[in-house]
A and B are shown apart, each in its own frame.
Chain A
Amino acid sequence: EAGVAQSPRYKIIEKRQSVAFWCNPISGHATLYWYQQILGQGPKLLIQFQNNGVVDDSQLPKDRFSAERLKGVDSTLKIQPAKLEDSAVYLCASSQAGGRNTEAFFGQGTRLTVV
Chain B
Amino acid sequence: KQEVTQIPAALSVPEGENLVLNCSFTDSAIYNLQWFRQDPGKGLTSLLLIQSSQREQTSGRLNASLDKSSGRSTLYIAASQPGDSATYLCAVRPYTGNTDKLIFGTGTRLQVFP
Contacts and interface: CB of A to CB of B under 8 A. Distances in A.
Contacts, number: 63
Interface stretch (A12-20, A67-75, A76-84, A99-107): A99-107
Given A41-B106, A42-B91, A100 B44 contact: no
Contacts of B102: 33, 43, 45, 104
Interface of B: 4, 31-32, 34, 36, 41-46, 49, 51, 89, 91, 93, 97-102, 104-107
A91 B45 CA distance: 12
B89 A42 contact: yes
Interface in A85-112: 91, 93, 95, 99-109, 111
B110 to A, nearest CB: 15
A15 to B, nearest CB: 23
A107 to B, nearest CB: 5
Given A41-B106, A42-B91, A105 B101 contact: no
B43 A107 contact: yes
Interface string A32-66: 01000000111111001000000110000000000
Nearest to A42: B104
B45 to A, nearest CB: 8
Contact of B41 (A44, A91, A111): A111
Contact of B49 (A6, A93, A103): A103
A31 interface: yes
Contacts of B91: 42-43
Interface residues of A, number: 28
B42 A104 contact: no
B44 A55 contact: no
B101 A48 contact: yes
Contact of A56 (B41, B98, B105): B98
A106 B41 contact: no
5 contacts: A31-B100, A56-B97, A56-B101, A93-B44, A103-B46
Nearest to B30: A100
